[in-house]
Amino acid sequence: MVARIALRPFLRVLNRARSTRSLEKLKSLLSDRLFSVRTGGSKDPNPLPPLLFEIATGYWISQAVYVAAKLGIADLLEDGPQSSDVLAAATRSDARSLYRLLRALSSIGVLSQVDDDRFALSRLGNPLRTNVPGSLRAIVISIGEIHYQACGELLHSVQTGAAAFSHAFGTSLFEYLQQNAEAASAFNRGMTNVTSLLAHAVVLAYDFSGITSIVDVGGGEGELLMKILELYPETSGIVFDLGNTFGSPKHTVSSAERCSYVAGNFLDSVPKKATMS
């Protein structure tokens, strides 16, 4: 009885809409306001979930990609498709769990499932390989570990104004990296991944001619400075960062002769003998 009374105003609106031939507009409005589901229609056997739900569960996908990067799945698939059992043995993973992960990655296009139990690397997933131009493996690992945990404390940060990272790990980011070599290595290589994507845009957008020396403060492995020195042979430079960030920089001999690495904390001081820093 209560339901019938509650529905009466709604039914009157429907009857009025039918009589004024505006029912289609009303249906569109109801669909947009009450049933905002991204689907091709009610006959779709597999309707997509609401967009807000997809946004809220986005970490399901990001963590699946992280696990693939951490296990080195893309490197294992660089020579062709492999079965999930072979990949499980190579990564020392549970075969059934890894198979489900591989299927999930195939559903979003990172991998391709070529038959019931074999998977291939897709073009989308290729940057998860370690030693390829445009590799993103290191930054995906860093995001999936320390960044992911820090973001889990976002509520604390918003409510208090304090850094989420410090709340999650009990110390600041740079202090944590100083104390954890594996995390520092992933972070530094990840920064190099990102810098390699941006370096070409920087050297194309900015004219460094006439600058004789550059200090790249917080330059990590020196990826950006190397790109600048390759295009400007009259310029020399210094990469200034914490000593554990330098890693094993890769650069041409000509640029190596004009670049040096100086360890230090830019929060304390920076080298001053440069025309640009």
Q: What is the pLDDT of residue 60?
A: 96
pTM of the model: 0.71
Q: What is the pLDDT of residue 19?
A: 62
Cα 64 versus chain centre, distance: 12
Cα 121 versus chain centre, distance: 18
Query: What residue segments make up the domains of the chain, in order of their start?
Result: 58-128, 133-205, 207-277
Q: What is the pLDDT of residue 37?
A: 47
Cβ atoms within 10 Å of 110's Cβ, excluding its own = 25
Say which CATH architecture domain 207-277 belongs to: 3-Layer(aba) Sandwich (3.40)
Determine the topology of domain 58-128 in CATH.
Answer: Arc Repressor Mutant, subunit A (1.10.10)
- Contacts of 50 by beta carbon, 8 Å cutoff, 6+ apart: 36, 37, 38
Within the chain, which residues score under 50 in pLDDT?
1-5, 33-37, 39-41, 251-253
Q: Can you tell me whether residue 258 is helix, strand or coil?
A: coil
